[in-house]
Amino acid sequence: MLSWLRISARDPASWLHAAINGWKYPLSREGQILLELYDLTLAINSSKKKPKPSPRPWQTGQRISATAVPIEEARERLAGRGMKQEGLA
């Protein structure tokens, strides 16, 4: 049972994964690729006006990289987990 939960939590096509990540609905990896290809096709075939991308279930209006954790605290947390800090400025 526990292994099934782990697998479902990692599969973007499952409702469990969607619920954990706050998505509106599940979307398979193939579906994600098709949306990207559709958006690229629209961008290539459009005139100067940039087309609006297709909606994704994870779009909440927030940046993915936005965080309230200061960089120093993030580095300390990574160091506590044994992560190397090479290349971080």
Domain span at residue 25?
2-58
Tell me, rounded to whole angstroms, the distance of Cα 30 from its chain centroid: 15
Distance of CA 62 to the CA centre of its chain: 12
pLDDT digits (tens, 9 = 90+) for 28-74: 999 999 999 999 999 998 888 888 888 888 876 555 556 677 878 87
Q: Is residue 89 part of a domain?
A: no
Domains in the chain: how many in total? 1
Q: Is residue 46 part of a domain?
A: yes
Q: Is residue 71 part of a domain?
A: no
Instruction: Give me the pLDDT at residue 40, please.
Output: 92
* CA–CA dist 41, 32 (Å, integer): 14
Asked, for residue 28, whether it belongs to a domain, the answer is: yes
- Residue 87 pLDDT level (bands cut at 50, 70, 90): low
Cβ atoms 56, 63 nearer than 8 A: no
pTM of the model: 0.57
